[in-house]
Amino acid sequence: MPHAPAPSPRTLTLTLAAATAMFLLPACDDLTDDDPAEEETPDAPAEEEDQEANGEIEAEEEARGELSSVPDDVDVTDTEELVEQGGGTFLARCADGLAELVWWVPDEDFHVDDVDAGPEDDAEIEFESDTESYEYDVTCVDDTPQVEVDHDD
């Protein structure tokens, strides 16, 4: 039986149970004594719909943590703020009154000196270079990110 190509981790996330059922069990067909007449007809589209409804498959995996570059397709919602200021770029999000840094990218010649990504009452990140630093503090008001910056030369 030919094997399907492995899905990209950015486009499809599978639970362990789904991965086992889809990839490991078909390879074991020759090891069982099942009667071929009793085999069920494939019904993968319906199974995928059930898995999506149960949250077992995500259509697209979200980038998280420190990234090497800013994503090309940043889609900001009402509860998010894309901050592109000194030291770097980051995506802040509010959910249930808690602040979270989803991802961040330091500017050239900067690095992340400290990060508290949350979710918490406030999330913080500090971008630092040899000559200056930018410290950002993110809080939430009505599930809208509020960003304060402290710049030191």
Phi, psi of 146, rounded to the nearest 5 degrees: -115, 125
Tokens of 49: 């719909």
CA distances from 118 to 63, 95, 101, 127 (A): 16, 11, 7, 17
Q: How far is CA 117 from the centre of its chain?
A: 13
Using one digit for the tens of pLDDT, what is the confidence trace for 44-70?
A: 455 555 555 554 444 456 788 999 999
| 29 three-state secondary structure | helix
For the full predicted model, state whether its pTM sits above 0.95: no
Please state, in angstroms and rounded to a whole number, the distance separating the CA atoms of residues 107 and 128.
Answer: 9
Using one digit for the tens of pLDDT, what is the confidence trace for 11-29?
A: 333 333 333 333 334 444 4
Would you give the DSSP letter of residue 22?
A: I
Indicate left, alpha or beta for 88 from its phi (over 0: left) and psi (-120 to 50: alpha): left
Please state, in angstroms and rounded to a whole number, the distance separating the CA atoms of residues 116 and 123.
Answer: 5
Q: Give mean pLDDT, residues 68-92.
A: 94
The answer to whether residue 128 scores a pLDDT higher than 50 is yes
